Amino acid sequence: MIETLVYSPTITEKILGRWYKWWYIIKYNLSVASGGLFGNLYQSIGYFTESIVVFYLWYQNGNSATVITYLLVGRIYKALSENYFYNSFGDNVLTGKVISQLLIPQPFIFYLYFQMVGRRFIRNIFEASAYIFSGAIFIYFTHVEILFSWRLLVLLAFIPITFSINHFFGIIIGSLAFFLEDSREFSSFAGAYLIFRNMMSGLILPLDKAPAAGFFVLTPYAWVLHHQVQIYLGKYDNNQIVLAFIGGLTWCIILYFLAKLVFKLGLKRNESVGL
């Protein structure tokens, strides 16, 4: 008599139920990403060097502890919530790999979302650590008093919003590869977009110091960094913090449907011209 093995779900499967598939996607891609530790380390050295130079230049121009705090906290937050993957996604579009990915029996945009949670986790921690280390060294030698605040907890609550905004923009920018001629054209466009995003988010120049600041703070890019750091610095009251949350969630919804639309239009073009 042959003994039949009966499958017994794990504790995690029992707890998460039908949501376990998303956890499995995160766990699998986290394992994949762990193979590139040295690559993350090398990039972190670059982030460390760049941030030291930026801090020093602002410091030499007589800027206050508030500005230096903005630059440091902004970079740490940006690192923890980063999720740009449009280069690889655009490459999959141009090479046709995206078609095979569509065979996965899950909502495609959400599949990519949980995939990127796993793939970005280690990289984001390395990048944030580089900024923290560079900030600590800069503070040690210059004796600048960084402003510490309990509002850091509020920033952590904003991370899923910023991660989602970056994700939906990743779908939109990557899907534009359907409408471009080759990989070189797309790479140039994607590189220009990254510079544009960093400017519009306040990473390079704080938006409240930029011309037409009233317009810039309403774009979705302001939720990539600007509003969160303003909250940390205590420049927003409780009502403004709530409005910032509502604004971020609203942009998430708008960008989700826009990402679906652009990707759908790209697929239609792919089907009609056979990219």
Write down the pLDDT at residue 273. Answer: 55
Write down the pLDDT at residue 1. Answer: 46
How many CB atoms are located within 10 Å of the residue 231 CB? 22
Percentage, residues of the chain above pLDDT 90: 38
Write down the pLDDT at residue 105. Answer: 80
Each residue's pLDDT tens digit, 48-68 = 998 998 888 888 887 778 888
Write down the pLDDT at residue 101. Answer: 81
Write down the pLDDT at residue 6. Answer: 66
CA distance 20 to 106: 13
Write down the pLDDT at residue 245. Answer: 95
One-letter identity of residue 248: G
Low-confidence ranges of the chain (pLDDT < 50): 1, 275
Write down the pLDDT at residue 7. Answer: 64
Write down the pLDDT at residue 211. Answer: 75
Each residue's pLDDT tens digit, 155-212 = 999 999 999 999 999 999 999 988 887 778 888 888 889 889 988 998 887 888 777 7
Write down the pLDDT at residue 5. Answer: 62
Write down the pLDDT at residue 260. Answer: 94
Q: Which H, E and C letters describe the chain, residue by residue?
A: CCCCCCCCCCHHHHHHHHHHHHHHHHHHHHHHHHHHHHHHHHHHHHHHHHHHHHHHHHHHCCCCHHHHHHHHHHHHHHHHCCCCCHHHHHHHHHHCHHHHHCCCCCCHHHHHHHHHHHHHHHHHHHHHHHHHHHHHHHHHHHCCCCCCCCCHHHHHHHHHHHHHHHHHHHHHHHHHHHHCCCHHHHHHHHHHHHHHHHHHHCCCCCHHHCCCHHHHCCCHHHHCCHHHHHHHCCCCCHHHHHHHHHHHHHHHHHHHHHHHHHHHHHHHHHHHHCC
